[in-house]
């Protein structure tokens, strides 16, 4: 995921998020992922600065 801090303009990214879509006999199942779109003290998602060209 990539995002821009609207207050500072800084750009950041996370590591790749793997999501899956699985066809079953009853339909389609999807990966579930929950993440907070702001920094949390003690959180476990690392972010890295990124360039405008990678945004």
Domain limits for position 14: 2-54
Q: Per-residue pLDDT tens for 20-52?
A: 999 999 999 999 988 887 778 888 888 899 999
The total of structural domains in the chain comes to 1
Span 2-23, pLDDT tens digits = 989 899 999 999 988 899 999 9
Q: What is the pLDDT of residue 37?
A: 74
What predicted TM-score, i.e. pTM, was given to this entire model? 0.60
Query: Strand order in 48-49's β-sheet?
Result: 2-4, 11-13, 48-49
Rounding to the nearest 10 degrees, give the CA dihedral for residues 6, 12, 16, 21: 10
- At 3, list the tokens: 């995002």
């Amino acid at each position: 995921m990539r995002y821009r801090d609207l207050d500072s303009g800084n750009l950041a990214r996370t590591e790749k998020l793997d999501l899956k879509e699985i066809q079953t006999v009853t339909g389609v199942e999807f990966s579930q992922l929950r993440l907070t779109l702001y920094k949390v003290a003690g959180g476990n998602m690392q972010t890295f600065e990124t360039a405008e060209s990678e945004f």
